[in-house]
Amino acid sequence: MDNPIPLSLPDITDLEIQAVVDVLRTNRLSLGPRQVAFEEAIRDFVGARYACALSSGTAALHLALLAAGVGPGDEVITSSFSFIASANCALYVGAKPVFADIDPATWNIDPDALEAAITPKTKAVIPVHVFGQPCRMDRIMAAAKKHSLAVVEDSCEAIGAAFGGRKAGTIGQSGTFAFYPNKQITTGEGGMLVTDDEKVASLARSLRNQGRAEKATWLAHERLGYNYRMCELQAALGEAQMKRISDILAKRARAAGWYTQRLAGFEKLRLQKIEPDVTMSWFVFVIRLADEFSQEHRDRLIAGLGQQGIGCNAYFTPIHLQTFYREQLGCRPGQLPVTEKVGERSLAIPFFSNISEGQVDRVCGAIRRIVDGF
């Protein structure tokens, strides 16, 4: 197919390339000044006191739960309409993930459903800021305070987003970010934990580095830890990306605006409702077929777009319907009706910083033609 349009592309310039080359000309490839500089850039951008660079957003979620004291016998409430790490991190610490249903318009966790899911075993909640839109953190924090629960924000898709003027990731006890190549900024692989709690930050730094104390010698370990370090090459790439983050976010917002203008009036589709008191950070652009259509129609749309060289993918397949969760936790269809309805009908379409308006026109035209043919 001539001129295919990919689902996503990283936004890499000569600035990032030179930053990585500069590291290769040094003798410091891990735990060096570029990691510190990247942490400081994230810390200052979101307005947190501390930032800890890690190997992935998944690692950040894992360490955030450990720092919150979550362990065997505890329950952690989160959304099933997310990437699987949002729930897996609870299993990593021996806890049980409990899923609350989502709001049918915003696709974020429903605060009422979250509060209804709280039991005496609940230790923490992980609100997921889906596709870059913050959850209703006012209501979630109120529920958490009422029941003495830790709040770990899964902001892996939401760097730069804000709720009520506060940046995503800085409202709960800790927040997590991810920098996979399809994210707003990338380090190839990588993540970040942010917090205002000095003890959480110190513990995270130890846990990421095989349990070493921050000032201990290389072979001195004071606790069970992990190899969750971010190397200097990744950090240099991330630091360079942070110098351009305002431009990157603006380009993504422009692309989202193009899609919204062309698709918002198409009665056979539903777009994510953006709440008035949030600042969106566009991670992906997801469309949902109207209720009159089925998962079969969604799959036909994906196939039809693929035949025209247009990248797309189902987004999200609910976590509780994944094979492992059905087998290990006894999850079943019908458990989360709103999540399942949205999951069956939604897909991500091409979205990246440098997508052109002409490419958006081509994607939207193809979507309309295929859906009108159903």
Task: Note the Cα 60 to chain centre separation in Å.
Answer: 11
Q: Taking a C-beta distance cutoff of 8 angstroms, is the pair 175, 192 a contact?
A: no
* CA atoms of 243 and 254, how far apart (whole Å): 19
Full 3-state SS string of the chain: CCCCECCCCCCCCHHHHHHHHHHHCCCCCECCHHHHHHHHHHHHHHCCCEEEEECCHHHHHHHHHHHCCCCCCCEEEEECCCCCHHHHHHHHCCCEEEEECECCCCCCECHHHHHHCCCCCEEEEECECHHHCCCCHHHHHHHHHHHCCEEEEECCCCCCCEECCEECCCCCCEEEEECCCCCCCCCCCCEEEEECCHHHHHHHHHHHECCCCCCCCCCCCCCCCCECCCEHHHHHHHHHHHCCHHHHHHHHHHHHHHHHHHHCCCCCEEECCCCCCEECCCCCEEEEECCCCCHHHHHHHHHHHHHCCECCEECCCCHHHCHHHHHHHCCCCCCCHHHHHHHHHEEEECCCCCCCHHHHHHHHHHHHHHHHCC
CA nearest to 95, candidates 166, 149, 36: 149
Residue carrying the six token digits 């692309």: 255
Catalytic residues: 183
Taken in order 46, 271, 114, 332, the sign of the CA dihedral is: negative
